């Protein structure tokens, strides 16, 4: 009886309790001098991310957020931070971060300073 209770008691415990975290998080700092200025007055920065495979394009999920205050807070893209409208486009192997003046006023050039970008790749069960 004692052996049976011991087996049943220990069988309910596992080292990881079956927990599996399907998410992968990547953090990048974009310094003020690393932005590319585009012909339309917008700015952009291309992040090379080989982990962003075709799976995440077709079945998984990609989330992009930006912090302009040293990771005190994050805003999920698309968003406007300090007068700059940020958007993100992604494809296999890369994420393009773009910023533009939402008013398109040439008297106010875009000056983002350093920002931190967080990209999260998540597994998902695709249901057609």
What does the domain layout of the chain look like in residue ranges? Answer: 21-122
Burial 34-63 (b: 16+ CB within 10 A, else e): ebeeeeeebbebebebeebeeebeeebeee
| Topology of domain 21-122, CATH | Elongation Factor Tu (Ef-tu); domain 3 (2.40.30)
pLDDT at 94 (0 to 100): 98
pLDDT at 8 (0 to 100): 44
pTM of the predicted protein model: 0.80
Is 74 buried (19+), middle (13-18) or exposed (0-12) by CB count in 10 A? middle
pLDDT at 50 (0 to 100): 97
Least confident of 25-29, 62-66, 120-124: 120-124
pLDDT at 3 (0 to 100): 47
């Amino acid at each position: 009886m004692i052996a049976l209770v011991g087996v049943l008691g220990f069988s309910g415990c596992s080292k990881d309790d079956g927990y599996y975290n399907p998410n992968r998080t990547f953090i990048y700092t974009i310094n003020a001098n690393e932005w590319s200025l585009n012909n339309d007055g917008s700015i952009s920065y291309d992040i090379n991310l080989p982990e962003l495979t075709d799976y995440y394009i077709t079945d998984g999920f990609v989330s992009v957020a930006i912090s302009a205050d040293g990771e005190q807070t994050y805003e999920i893209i698309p968003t406007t931070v300090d007068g700059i409208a940020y958007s993100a486009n992604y494809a296999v192997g890369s994420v393009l971060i773009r910023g533009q003046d939402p008013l398109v006023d040439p008297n106010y050039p875009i000056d983002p300073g350093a920002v931190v970008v967080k990209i999260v790749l998540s597994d998902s069960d695709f249901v057609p």
